[in-house]
Structure formats: C-alpha cells, structure tokens
Amino acid sequence: MKLKIALLLFWGVGLGTCFSQESKDLKLWYDAPASDWNEALPIGNGRLGAMVFGNPAHENIQLNENTLWAGGPHRNDNPKAKEALPKIRTLLFEGKFSEAHKLANEKFISETSVGMPYETVGNLRLNFPGHESYTNYSRVLDLENAVNTITYTMDGVQFKRELFTSFTDQVMVIKLSANKKGKISFSATMDRPEPAKVSVSTENNNVLVMTGWSSDNKNKRLPAESPAIKGQVEFDARIKVIPEGGKVTSTNNQLVVSKANSVILYLSIATNFVNYQDLSADPHKKAEAYIIEAEKKDYQQLVHDHTSFYKNYFNRVRLNLGKSEAAKNTTDIRIKNFSTGFDPSLAALYFQFGRYLLISSSQPGGQAANLQGLWCKDLTPPWKSAYTVNINTQMNYWPSEVTNLSEMHDPLIDLVKELSVTGQKTAADMYGAEGWVTHHNTDIWRITGPVDGATWGMWPTGGTWLSQHLWEKYMFNGDVNYLSSVYPAMKGAAEFCLSFLMEEPTNGWLIISPTISPEHGPKGRDKSVNIAAGTTMDNQLVFDLLTKTVAAAKLLDTDKELIQRIEQTLPKLPPMQVGQYNQLQEWMQDVDDPEDKHRHVSHLYGLYPSNLISPYRNPELFEAARNILIQRGDPSTGWSMNWKINLWARLLDGNHAYKLMGDQIKLVGRPDSPKGGGTYANMLDAHPPFQIDGNFGFTSGLTEMLVQSHDGAIHLLPALPDVWSEGKVNGLRARGGFEIASMQWKDGVLVKAVIKSTLGGNCRIRSYNELKFEDEKDLMTAQEINQNPFYQTPKTKKALVSKTVISKSLELKPTYVYDIPTTIGQEIVLIKK
C-alpha cells in the first residue's frame, strides 16, 4: 500500500547522518551574564520551559509550563453574525467598505472573549552572597546536548552551574559545583508577578513550593461591570534541594544552603490541566511525583537519559556551510557583525538553533508551540503569546518535516483536530455553514470565534490554512493510517468552504465573503478598513484544501459524493490575476499599491508555503510574485523577513535570500542597536518584541535554499548563494518519503548526493549540473521494474535535460532532470559528471 501512496505524492527527498559537525559550532556562548530577558538563554522539554540569566550573584530562572493560560474552558462565538451576514455581503459588493467594517465589528467580533493569554509561572531566584566580583566568566547553551552551563571564578574557586529541562524525567535539573569543598552557599526562593503562595513543604524541609491560579481575563470591549472569565488553571511549582555536604535550613518562603560541596536541585511544575475541556488533575500530586521519580536516578543517569532522548531528534540533521575567523567571537558579537562580514557557520548555527527550539517547545502529546514557543515572562504578553493562525502558528511548523522533526509536528496536528470539533458550533451559529471554522487567533481553550476587531479577526479561513498541515505531514510519511486519522478534520474544513462560498456578481466566481487579506488593506482606504471579498489568499487556500481533500478521499476510497461536489466547485474558483504593475493581485480588484511596504504578503502563500506558483508551470505568475517582493522591499519585522527568505528561495534566487538573512541576523535590543526587526543577543527573533516564528522561518528558509521538493521533483541546491560555495548537509527530508544520506557541493556545484527511498516509487531529481550514477547497480533492472505493478511507465537510466526560460525579463539556469525508480530502503548515489 505504501508504494501506491508514494506514487501519488509529490517527489521528495531527505538526508541521513554521514559526517560530524564540530561541537564548538553548535554552541551559543557569552562572556557576560544576560542583562535582560532578551539575552537569557532558553531551555525546554516541550512542557517545561526556562530562561536562564546566568548571573553569578543573583541567578534568575524564569519559568513556564505550557498549560498555564489565563481563564478556563469557554466559547467566544457571536450568534449575531448569521443575521448580519447577508447585509455585510451586500455592502461589500456595493463598495461600502467602511459600513461593512463597522457592521462586522458590531455583529461578528466576539462579545465574550478576545482569547486568553499564555502566562509565566514565575521565577526561581538563587542568591549567592559575595559572588559579585567574578572573573573568567562564560555561559554556554550547548545545542548538541540541550544543556546550559555557566562557569566563573570567585576568590580562586571555580564555580559551575549546569541546567537542563529533562525530556525523560519531566523536571528541570540544576547542578551546582565547585573545585573546592564547602564553597557553595546560597538561598533559593520563588515569586510570580501575581500573588501566589510560597512556602516550605510541611513534609520536607528541603522542598520549597509555590502554588496559585491562572489569571482572570475579560474582553475590554465589554462594560467595566461585566464579569471576567475566571482563571481556572491551578499550578504547583516546587524546588527540592539535595546537597552533598553542608546543610539546608529554611524560613517561611526560602531555603538556605550553607557550605555544600555540590548541590542538585530538582524543579517540578504541574497544573490541573487534562485537556481543553477538563481541569480535574491534581497539580500537587503530579509535581511531587515527578521529583520522586527523578530522585531514583543519579545525576549522570539523568543527564544521559535527557541528552540521549534529545539527540535522537537533533542529530538527524548536520550542516556545514564553512568556517571563518568570526567564529572565535561571542555569539552576540557574531550576530552584530554578520551582515558586514563572512560567518557561514553562524547561519548554520541559527538554522540548528531553530531545530533546537522546535524540539524544546513542541513534543508529542503536548501543546503546540505558541507565539513565543514555550517561553514567556509576562501575565499579559504581547499578542497574548497565543496562536495567531493567519501565519505565525503555521510558520512555527515550517521546519518540522523538512528538517527531520516530524514528531514535533504532532502537537499542531492535535490542535487542528481539536479545533475541528470546537469550530463546528461556530460555523453553524455564526455562518449557518457546514463543517468547522476558526479565525485568526485561538488559545489553549480552542476558541474559534473572531477576536481583536474586524481589522484582524474578520478572516474565516484560519482553519483552511491550518488544515494544509494535515496533508503536508502525509506528503512526507505516506502513512495511510495517519491520513485516515486526520481526514475528518480535512473534510470538515472543506465542507465549511463549500457551504460558505458564494457567487460574486461580476464574474460568477465562487468566493469567501466577508474576509480580509491578513492584516492589510488596499490602496485608498483607511488602514483599519481592510474588509473585503474574494481575496487572493483565500482563493489559494480554498483551492489547496479542496484539491487535497479530493486526493485524500480517493486514497481512502471514501466520500464519492463529496469528491464530485468539490470537482464541480474547483473550476468556479477565481484565478490568480496579474495587475497593472505586473504584480500578483492581492484582491479581486486591481488595487495594489506598488509603494506599500506592509509586512504581510499574504497572497504569496501560493508561492510559499504552497506550490501553486511555479517557474516551470506558470512563469507569468512566478514573475508577478517576484515583482510583489521587489515592490514591498526587504526590511520588515523579524518574522516577515524570514518569510521572505523562504519566498526568495522559492524564486530560486539564493543571493537575495541570503541578503534577507543579513537583514535578519542583525543585533537589536541594546541601547546602541538599530531599531526594527532582527535578532536579540540570545539569538531569538525580534518582531520586535520576541516572536519565535521568525526563528522557525529562518530554519525552513535555509532548508529551501538547499533542497526543494514541492514542484514535481527533488531540486538539489535550488537557491544556493554565492557565499556558500562549499558545504555539506545530511538529514533533510522531502515529500515522497526520500532521505538524503549526504549531499556535498564545491565551487557552488553539486558533487555528490546519496538518496534513500523509504516508501519506494519514482524519484525525480532536478539539478543545475549534470550527474551520473556512481554505480549502475543503484538502478532497478528492467525485470525488477516490470515485476513491480506500481510502476506504470517505462523508466530510463538516461537523464532528461531541460532548459527553462521563464519570461522576457527573467531567466533561470538550465536544469537536468532524472527519473529514478526505487524500492523501499534503496539508496541511489549520484555524483558530478
């Protein structure tokens, strides 16, 4: 069955492990403590997160647990919307946009909730008397082992702190040591921005406990006397201190360790959260149990189990883009100098940091990475640190499949499946529609109604975009059982589109109305009035979802009537249009502004992450998409610049993609730093402020520069910049179930690629330089091909060569195309001819 599935996939490729990346290239390191949160270093195990400041005298470790959100289970639908829907559609077709916008605010936007914010647990503070005057300071985040280490010298004594959030034991472990006995003395306490109870355990004087509840939250649009949604998440955060030598004493709200040789601290956090409808767990028993289990292991076993688990994911991909003298500098200096110097290993480190963050913030069975991943210092963070699903949440997961972290994709898949349940009532009550819907923002309670005003929230295709991830994961794994498990959510999202589409009066196209093109408006309107009908992005999203749902239904041999309904609808969707400035139109009407520099380029969804715009299939649209990026310009907020890296890579322009990398890797957040988007000293993306989607977008963008598999072939080195003239990579993956055991290039030319098939099927390779097979045995024989019923056409050992001219103003390099039949587990070795 899997061979059959592979033939229906887009062709793809990935890589396996074949060489060692030097350990020093996989470290963020600094010669001073963090001056603020944007310089602290993140550690996490998917559930627990911490930001470590590394201050010798006053260590601050800011804490998170991924189920601690304000409020509790609730809905935020606005039932007034259904009655107002016909009127607002009429206003839009009459061109009365301000009136339509006002009506949307009154009748569509939630009256009960604007969504709940993700919250910090608080802070663990370790105070070391007399440690203010230190020397030989270093703090390091080791991406290869997921361990944070701080070292310094004080009065001739060398001190060391090792910290990690254990994946296997679900506690944060801190080891304090010194090279002389009896030198470790400190106090430990905890606090939170909102009142919480901090006390020493009545059962164990070595345990400090902080307990409390998440915050109440209300819609500020409501009258002051209106009730808030009560905070219903109870939490328990506790720290246990185990000294070797010395003694432990306690007061009401702190522990004091005196003259220990070394100390191990176990930090545990738990909440009463079971799922978005159930808050019946006992956080106190859970938090206590985590520590009890962790204590059964010695420190070395804890470290070993943690790092082994982590390395199983992280070591799947290795990347070497070259080295330079810049690597001898601290990470913050390297970030500051990147755009004006040569530091290819920093780009590789930035890439791997994105993979580290995804492993650390998104583990199977847990919550999806939110706007700040896992790390949040506030009770009311920017944009609620929620799930913004008009690009940001999706962007978090762009690297998951291509960089061999498919398991990290699972929490998002689970989120979509849960939204497909809660969104059914929203679709019925607000739109009188079938299926399910969600808008531009959701939270842990899986709200699906629109929030934040019509300028942002009047966008009913959030679920349409999220559902693309259900199919995308299948494109890499070819697992029919998985596809069957997500098909109901795909089907429900498609049913909403089918029942909500309406005929527009000018061309008779079927469109989504009302909607917006996130978070943007056309030329000539007030910036807040962006409400529209039939936006290009929605048209692309609907086409993608309907097409993929048909493919899924056919593979699963189900829903023949739905297939027929979709196939009758697809030809009636609006085409993408090229406007008066040779641009891809963002709206049905030609109302784009070539001087507009807005951060969102939503209509380029069709270029990336979708595959609707191709130089080989529709070159006019390809050039029109390129013109949009030129008109919008490069400088932007952090996440937007990283989206543009992916877009320029899809435009096969590696040098321009690399230029955007330079715009992104610039140091911000310090008094002498430039303003705008960029990178904080701790390598987190600055919107500003911090948004993690930019980090993930960088990682996916660099991957797109090295391997693409969306356009009918595995394109090796499709957008390699001149600056990376030599390099090697392994571990990347692509559609169709192919892996690359290794890929190496020199002087900008591919010299060797080892490709492994995990599903079998035809492997189509595209390359700018001619290749040959290292061993003819790599190819299946004609007899083997004939014996395999899944190969429907003859295969050839000879390369097919095609030269592509895109348009009068845009040319691409000639490409060589190879069709290679494979069986499951087979490896193909290609070398430069």
Confidence of residue 806 (pLDDT cuts 50, 70, 90): very low
CATH of domain 81-111+383-390+406-622: 1.50.10.10
Does 628 have pLDDT greater than 70? yes
pLDDT attached to residue 13: 27
Confidence of residue 479 (pLDDT cuts 50, 70, 90): very high
pLDDT digits (tens, 9 = 90+) for 437-465: 999 999 999 999 999 999 999 999 999 99
pLDDT attached to residue 218: 80
Q: Are strands 749-757 and 800-802 parallel, antiparallel or unpaired?
A: unpaired
Q: Do domains 33-70+121-315 and 81-111+383-390+406-622 have the same CATH topology?
A: no
Average pLDDT for 408-428? 98
Does 627 have pLDDT greater than 70? yes
Average pLDDT for 89-100? 96
pLDDT attached to residue 389: 98
pLDDT digits (tens, 9 = 90+) for 272-299: 999 999 999 999 999 999 999 999 999 9
Tokens found for residue 618: 């529709």
Domain ranges, ordered by start, for the chain: 2-17+724-832, 33-70+121-315, 81-111+383-390+406-622
pLDDT attached to residue 111: 84
Q: Which residue has the tokens 């009047």?
A: 458
Q: How many whole angstroms separate alpha carbon 659 and alpha carbon 361?
A: 29
pTM of the model: 0.94
**For the chain, what percent of residues have pLDDT higher than 70?**
92
Least trusted range by pLDDT, from 117-131, 195-209, 398-412, 470-484: 195-209
Least trusted range by pLDDT, from 74-88, 237-251, 546-560, 818-832: 818-832
* DSSP per-residue codes, 620-655: HHHHHHHHHHHHH-S---HHHHHHHHHHHHHTT-HH
Does 788 have pLDDT greater than 90? no
pLDDT attached to residue 86: 97
pLDDT attached to residue 640: 94
List residues bridging with 208 in a β-sheet.
Answer: 200, 239
Confidence of residue 810 (pLDDT cuts 50, 70, 90): low
**For the chain, what percent of residues have pLDDT higher than 90?**
85
Does 4 have pLDDT greater than 70? no
Least trusted range by pLDDT, from 93-102, 213-222, 403-412, 709-718: 213-222
Helix-strand-coil split of the chain, %, nearest 5: 35, 25, 45
pLDDT attached to residue 40: 98
Q: Assign residue 366 a region: left if phi > 0, alpha if psi is -120 to 50, beta otherwise?
A: beta
The answer to whether 139 touches 33, Cβ cutoff 8 Å, is: yes
pLDDT digits (tens, 9 = 90+) for 723-763: 999 999 999 999 999 999 899 999 999 999 999 999 999 99
Q: Where are the beta strands (DSSP E) in 380-514?
A: 387-388, 441-442, 502-503, 510-511
Q: Which residue has the tokens 């061999």?
A: 404
Does 777 have pLDDT greater than 70? no
Does 791 have pLDDT greater than 70? no
Confidence of residue 778 (pLDDT cuts 50, 70, 90): low
Helix, coil or strand: residue 733: strand
Does 251 have pLDDT greater than 90? no
pLDDT digits (tens, 9 = 90+) for 202-226: 888 899 999 999 999 987 776 676 7
pLDDT attached to residue 24: 66
pLDDT digits (tens, 9 = 90+) for 295-309: 999 999 999 999 999
Does 162 have pLDDT greater than 50? yes
pLDDT attached to residue 805: 43
Does 801 have pLDDT greater than 70? no
pLDDT attached to residue 430: 97
Confidence of residue 779 (pLDDT cuts 50, 70, 90): low
pLDDT digits (tens, 9 = 90+) for 10-62: 322 222 233 334 456 899 999 999 999 999 999 999 999 999 999 999 999 99
The domain made up of 33-70+121-315 is a member of CATH 3.40.50.150: no
Q: How far is CA 698 from CA 322, 508, 647, in A?
A: 18, 40, 11
Does 5 have pLDDT greater than 80? no
Confidence of residue 808 (pLDDT cuts 50, 70, 90): very low
Does 800 have pLDDT greater than 50? no
pLDDT attached to residue 667: 97
Residue predicted with more confidence, 813 or 434: 434
The answer to whether 821 touches 3, Cβ cutoff 8 Å, is: no
Distance, CA of 78 to chain centre? 30
Across the chain, what does the average pLDDT equal? 92
pLDDT attached to residue 741: 87
pLDDT attached to residue 309: 98
pLDDT attached to residue 528: 87
Q: How many whole angstroms separate alpha carbon 733 and alpha carbon 752?
A: 16
Tokens found for residue 551: 């493919």
Does 827 have pLDDT greater than 50? yes
**CATH class held by domain 2-17+724-832:** mainly beta
Locate all alpha helices (DSSP H) within 277-321, ordered by sequence. 283-294, 299-314
pLDDT attached to residue 630: 96
